[in-house]
Amino acid sequence: MLPIILTSAAVIGGIALALGLILALADKFLADYGVVTLTINGDKELSVKGGNSLLYTLFQQKYFIPSACGGKGTCAYCKLVVTEGAGPYLPTEKIVLTDEEMAKNVRLSCQVKVRGAMRVEIPAEYFEIGEYEAVLEKAELVTPAIKELTFRLADPPAIKFKAGQYVQIQAPAPGTGEAVYRAYSMASLPSLRETVSFNVRLEENGVASTYLFGLKDGDPVKFSGPYGEFLYSRSGRNAVCLATGVGLAPFRSLIPDILESDPDVEVFLFFGARVKGDLYGGADIEEWAKNPKFHYIPILSGEEGDWDGERGRMDVVFFAKFFESHAQDEYYLCGAPVVVNSLTAELIKRGVPEGRIHFDKFG
């Protein structure tokens, strides 16, 4: 009986998914909303093409709103107050917005479509975010699936950012050529203002990662930023950094900042990977290790015959062997939403206050 139930559920789920795709395509290609009025902060009126997400529409008008998940509604960074024209709340919004936020008309701008006159409030600090042009100076494959890309700023010729922040890189969508935006953390020091580096994982069917992997020396890119509040809290507590894959990127900026600005704080980096070939950032880690306050614990989840270090899934190993000695520390987490959400939930379950948990999630 159970296989029949599961099969029926799968069929129903497949039909629902197909209907959803049909409706999405119909909305994209058949609905013509024409030119609509978008009012910013009560006084600035824009005439914009209807039909796109509010996030995309604002980007097209050079209003840069934080977003790290490529418009999937998972990072919840693109929250804006929309007082008119947003329509009913979507299931994707209800998952991440609180009742209090919804009572105040807070929306996920990546999920809300501009289909008619709309009034939106943009925080003042977002107006300080700028747009940059740069050229690729160096590309290096640091693992089989991750490239480190270093760009030299062209216009303006320098960028000012804080350790732990990110930018949104513009990439052309295949076929349409329309711009899409994806978030990448700075993997270089803020003091190197004329250049900036990113760690990019090549994702299957990934629009931005495929575009960035294909760039050659001298090729131009555009990005906006800086964004993000994944910053050192300066609480005086020891810092526990938990990262997997390209989640190492912001720590290549953040860890030196912590070690330099707070010499009494100890920094612990737990870096999870599948095999040794997926561990990268060796030169930086060797430099940090010259400081006795820095501790590096790589953890491999895959088979590796000659590995003498920690084995297993990073979160499982950490909570089984290390958590008790770090229960009073400050936590910094970076990785895919499923990883960050799992780590956060377990930390809270074990009594770590939310104010001591800082995270940056992507994907």
Assess whether 109 and 150 both reside in one domain: no
Per-residue pLDDT at 191 exceeds 60? yes
Per-residue pLDDT at 1 exceeds 70? no
Segment 125-173, tens digit of pLDDT: 999 899 999 999 999 999 999 999 999 999 999 999 999 999 999 999 8
The mean pLDDT value of the chain amounts to 90
| End residue of a domain, out of 125, 155, 184 | 125
Give the CA dihedral 271, 272, 276, 282, nearest 10 degrees: -20
State the average pLDDT over residues 98-121: 96
Assess whether 221 and 251 both reside in one domain: no
Assess whether 138 and 223 both reside in one domain: yes
Q: Which of 346, 270, 327, 323 is nearest to 301 (CA)?
A: 270
d(CA 235, CA 340): 21
Assess whether 121 and 134 both reside in one domain: no
Assess whether 69 and 91 both reside in one domain: yes
| Confidence category of residue 363, pLDDT binned at 50, 70, 90 | low
9 within some domain: no
- Copy the structure tokens of residue 75: 């990072």
Assess whether 164 and 121 both reside in one domain: no
CATH number, position 93: 3.10.20.30
Q: Which of 51, 104, 99, 59 is nearest to 78 (CA)?
A: 59
CB 279 within 8 A of CB 298: yes
Assess whether 64 and 164 both reside in one domain: no
Given the structure tokens 């069917």, which residue do they identify? 205
Quote the pLDDT of residue 336: 83
Helix residue spans in the chain (DSSP H): 2-29, 54-60, 91-96, 99-103, 207-213, 251-261, 282-288, 314-321, 337-349
What separation, in Å, do the N-terminal and C-terminal C-alpha atoms of the chain show?
37
Q: Which of 205, 204, 196, 128 is nearest to 167 (CA)?
A: 196
CB 165 within 8 A of CB 225: yes
Quote the pLDDT of residue 203: 92
26 within some domain: no
7 within some domain: no
| End residue of a domain, out of 78, 97, 125 | 125
25 within some domain: no
Assess whether 293 and 350 both reside in one domain: yes
Segment 48-91, tens digit of pLDDT: 999 999 999 999 999 999 998 888 888 888 999 999 999 999 99
CB 273 within 8 A of CB 335: no
217 within some domain: yes
CATH number, position 244: 3.40.50.80
| End residue of a domain, out of 185, 203, 227 | 227
This prediction has a pTM of: 0.82
15 within some domain: no
154 within some domain: yes
Assess whether 47 and 91 both reside in one domain: yes
Residue 101 domain boundaries: 34-125
* Rg of the chain on CA atoms, in Å: 22
Assess whether 73 and 141 both reside in one domain: no
143 within some domain: yes
Assess whether 38 and 55 both reside in one domain: yes
Per-residue pLDDT at 293 exceeds 90? yes
Helix, strand counts (H, E) of the chain: 9, 17
* Total tally of structural domains belonging to the chain: 3
Given the structure tokens 């899934």, which residue do they identify? 313
Assess whether 247 and 329 both reside in one domain: yes
CATH number, position 203: 2.40.30.10
